[in-house]
Amino acid sequence: MVILYIPNIELPTDLGWTHDATDWQLSTTPAFKDDDIIEKSMSDEDNLTSITMDVDLPADTLLYARARVICNKGIFEWSNIGVIKIEDFVKITFEQPIPSKVMKPVIHLDFDKQNFPSTMFTITTDEMSSSSNSDLIETTYFITDIHGTPYYFNTTKDDLTKKLVNEVILPEDRVYIISASFKSSSRDVSSVATEVVYVKPVKDINLKTSTDDINTNYDFIISIDPIVNFKSMEVTIYGAGMDLKKEIYNTSQESLSIVVPSTAFEGFDISSILIGIEVTYQDDSKSGFKYYPATIIRNT
């Protein structure tokens, strides 16, 4: 018997998405040729996120599994291929971690999920919970868009419950699925936790300031193009370095330009910054934040 599962993805139902069925395949090769597939369930409307397949194979047999989600608006890409090794039962001593169910992580994000930045955000999870004496030894973080296109993947033994994502810039006006899963010292792997975010395009805001090699030894000006019915703008700057990120500057002014003092960059070893700009209109409505990643230099 083999149990397959995929994360119970939180689809953006407010955009009309529904999970209608799932395709499941189990194969003796990663090519998934017709002759190699030993079990499958296609367009399965009953087993949406997990399925039990009855297979009886010798020990040390390798199997390959994959699945894809069928929605009312289209079909996802096939998942990454999972490798399953059929093993004989092996007795363990109580000094070893006891195999057990590892609870699915709980994900926390540091920005509004409906107005998410394209980069420099942090994925934080609660501590691992299990019913055994096993420890968390590895966490996998990955990001795809709603169609299954991969944008980020990182398996780490260091950033187990907190990961700064600063290596990718997500395209705007897309819905993304941020995912995380745990691996314990008993070699159990948790279900995949997911959060759905939207990198919102803010067309009114057009930054005039160059975002390349800003010299933080000096004050610099952040300026935007004129906007109809402009009232004020808020600027927030985040600094990142050595897997750490924090807000280093914030101001609101009734002006299309603001001067950022060089002192904002003192006391923190920053390698890059993220500039967030939000406009308030004359009717007090807000544009939402437009985020701009920027590179910096410091002359010594």
pLDDT digits (tens, 9 = 90+) for 179-212: 998 988 877 888 888 899 999 999 999 999 999 9
- What's the pLDDT band for 82 if we cut at 50, 70, 90? low
Q: How many CB atoms lie within 10 A of CB 209?
A: 16
pLDDT value of residue 86: 46
Helices (H), 92-144: none
Q: Which domains does the chain have, with CATH numbers?
A: 1-90 (2.60.40.10), 94-201 (2.60.40.10), 214-297 (2.60.40.10)
- Which tokens in the block code for residue 268? 């923190």
**Strand 290-297 relative to strand 272-281: parallel, antiparallel, unpaired?**
antiparallel
Q: How many CB atoms lie within 10 A of CB 188?
A: 17
pLDDT digits (tens, 9 = 90+) for 209-235: 999 999 988 999 999 999 999 999 999
Q: Helix (H, G, I), strand (E, B), or coil: what is residue 241? A: strand
Whether the pTM exceeds 0.75: the reply is: no
- Long-range pairs of 8-14 with CB within 8 A, sequence gap ≥ 24: 8/49, 8/191, 8/194, 9/69, 9/177, 9/194, 9/196, 10/177, 10/194, 10/195, 10/196, 11/71, 11/146, 11/196, 12/146, 12/175, 12/196, 12/198
What's the mean pLDDT in 72-97?
Answer: 54
The pLDDT of residue 100 is above 60: no
